[in-house]
Amino acid sequence: MRVFYPMIVLVALALVQSLQLWQMDWAGDRVWYAISADPFESRRFALKTAALILAGIMLVRYTANRRRLSVLVHAIIGVALASALFGIARQGMQHAPGFGLPLLRPGIGYGQFINKNHFAYLMEMAMGLVAGVAIMRREKRERLLIYLAAFLLMWVALVLSNSRGGLLAMVAQVVCAPAIFLDSRPRGAAEAKSWTRSVAVRAAMIGAMLIVVAAGVVWLGGDQLATGASCTKARAAATSGDLPG
């Protein structure tokens, strides 16, 4: 529970900054002043952070044993897997507004989300959980192929969503996963300087995985990413052209 103490202090600070200190009449209107330049946003930030703290405390409280934590992890993976299947089906089959949900429009968002970056966030969270479960669970290796299939499906959906932020986060996961895998392997004192601890081997593994991921991204969604980058550059050029010189 101590991990939440800094966030609780931050919420208290935001609330103090949003408190009304004094009032004065200004052009017939009563104006009140606070420490914060925007008391409404400070109070809004405090309420949002307090909600996150409450969710975190409940998560720690109700996942106190391994079975409950496993149920939660697999529930997130299941939701993400269903979302990935729905997103791929929607991309290939939707030709008119409404695809199970009335507000979904062709070419806008991905999966059940209006914002494609929200979909990418769900995929990244689930992909990290899948990789962690597959790497750290040694007693049930027969399920490794199931986790691998789920990971690949979510990866394909993430690439097809055309979220550049999601792809950047995926690259970060690819960089961190080999280090977690190599450090999780049991080894004795005699293996302290074995190849699994070699920086060169780790760098080679990370480089190879990055090449595979980059090739897969280009193969699956290269045209979409290029189009998105071109549109972004065009909008930036138009915006800079509208600015006064």
If you write DSSP's letter for every residue of 121-149 in order, what string do you get? HHHHHHHHHHHHHHHH--TTGGGHHHHHH
DSSP secondary structure letter of residue 237: H
- Number of domains within the chain: 2
Q: Domain check: are 85 and 201 in the same one?
A: yes
In a domain, 230, yes or no: no
Residue 30 three-state SS:
strand
Return the closest-CA partner of residue 10 out of 41, 59, 53, 61.
53
Contacts of 78 (CB under 8 A, 6+ apart): none
Task: Give me the mean pLDDT over the 90-97 stretch.
Answer: 89
Is 234 within a domain?
no
Whose tokens are 């914002």? That residue is 115
Q: Are residues 41 and 88 in the same domain?
A: no
Find all residues with CB under 8 Å of 131, minimum gap 6, and list them.
Answer: 151, 173, 177, 180
Q: Are residues 46 and 107 in the same domain?
A: no
Q: Select the highest-mean-pLDDT range: 26-35, 81-90, 130-139.
A: 81-90
Closest CA to 206 of 168, 165, 231, 174: 174
The residue among 178 and 130 whose pLDDT is bigger is: 130
The SS3 assignment for 31 reads strand
Q: Tell me the mean pLDDT in the region 5-12.
A: 92
* Tally of residues, the chain: 245
Contact 161, 225 (CB under 8 A): no
Q: Examine the pLDDT at 190 and tell me if it is beyond 60.
A: no
- Count H helices and E strands in the chain, helices first: 7, 2
The pLDDT value recorded for residue 74 is 92
DSSP single-letter state for residue 244? -
Is residue 70 situated within a structural domain?
yes
At 31 the pLDDT is: 72
Over residues 65-87, mean pLDDT: 92
Looking at residue 123, what is its pLDDT?
A: 93
Distance, in Å, from the CA atom of 56 to the CA atom of 2, rounded to the nearest integer, reads 12
The per-residue pLDDT for 113 is 93
Domain identity same for 76 and 150: yes
Tell me the average pLDDT of the chain: 79
Average pLDDT over residues 42-47: 93
If asked whether residues 72 and 150 sit together in one domain, one would say: yes
What range defines the domain where residue 18 resides? 1-62
d(CA 234, CA 245): 18
In this structure, is residue 102 part of a structural domain?
Answer: yes
Q: Within this chain, do residues 35 and 121 fall inside the same structural domain, yes or no?
A: no
Q: Are residues 32 and 83 in the same domain?
A: no
Confidence class of residue 167 from pLDDT cuts 50, 70 and 90? confident
My answer on whether 114 and 214 are in the same domain is yes
Whole-number Å distance between alpha carbons of 185 and 204:
18
pLDDT band at 88 (very low <50, low <70, confident <90, very high): very high
